[in-house]
Amino acid sequence: MTRIICDTMIWYELSKNRLHVPNPEKYTLVCTYLSLMELAFTPNNFKNLEEVQNVIRKILSVEPELIMQSPISYARGLIDSDFKVEYKIEEDLVMGFLRVLLNHPKDGLINNEFKNQLNSITSIRTKNNDDWANFQNELYKPSKEMRHILKKYSTAESYQKYFNSKFANQYSLRRYSKDQIDWDKFELYEKVSERYLRNMDISKLKADRNDENDLKNMIYVQPEDKYWTLEKRWLSMIKEIKLDEYLYTQPNN
């Protein structure tokens, strides 16, 4: 059975019947913790709660495989077989917020403490995502002359070395050396991230507030898995680096 890791937009499209669930005899859909977090704290909860509720209900009805670990915790588990996370649903803030959202009247959030807390968390996440994108755009804003030099002299190996060092230096992964990491398990995430960095350097690509989460969602994708996305940015990069075999494409019929 082949797993299909879905990005959040796929769940929206499935809930609107613009896509159909793949053959369950061949494929297992996977909903990641990152997607659940995005649904719990999306600004869309304040604009169109019913739409988000429909997405949550679609996920519940499909009964996908749920990965209830953050991307970095999941990565650590792939690196270290002795690392285990005991998941307790009753202590999970994301699931708690999703439960309340699902049981709210569909015409909008009630003015109460829950709405205030949700607004606070959502605003902080939105600001952090905007700050990240603005920082990336400033960092990768070389002059036209510098862009020409980078395009001519930078190599795939240099971006790989930079990415590997950056990835391994994240707080919970620092205990492992780069040599302890089986990079094949992170092929899609690694190669797309490297191409993303390169394109930021040599083209006019601008970081979007959702890019960091979109990239981290690829951490969940293993070499035997498929990844389902409709985002042109990622489809284009995955095809550029010739990793099309990772992509799941909905049949026309």
Kind and range of the H or E run holding 229: none
Task: Label residue 253 by pLDDT band (50, 70, 90).
Answer: low
pLDDT by residue (tens digit) across 6-43? 999 999 999 999 999 999 999 999 999 999 999 999 99
pLDDT(93) > 60? yes
Domain boundaries, given as residue ranges, for the chain: 2-246
86 residue type, one letter: E
**Distant-in-sequence, close-in-space partners of 175: CB < 8 Å, separation ≥ 6:** none
Q: What integer best gives the mean pLDDT of the chain?
A: 92
Q: Rounded distance, CA 171 to CA 88, Å?
A: 23
Higher-confidence residue of 171 and 249: namely 249
pLDDT by residue (tens digit) across 139-173? 887 665 677 677 776 778 888 988 888 888 887 88
Average pLDDT of the residues in 191-208? 91
**Distant-in-sequence, close-in-space partners of 47: CB < 8 Å, separation ≥ 6:** none
Task: Label residue 222 by pLDDT band (50, 70, 90).
Answer: very high
Average pLDDT of the residues in 57-74? 96
Average pLDDT of the residues in 99-112? 91
* 123: number of Cβ within 10 Å: 12
Q: What's residue 146's pLDDT?
A: 72
Q: What's residue 129's pLDDT?
A: 96
Task: Label residue 116 by pLDDT band (50, 70, 90).
Answer: very high
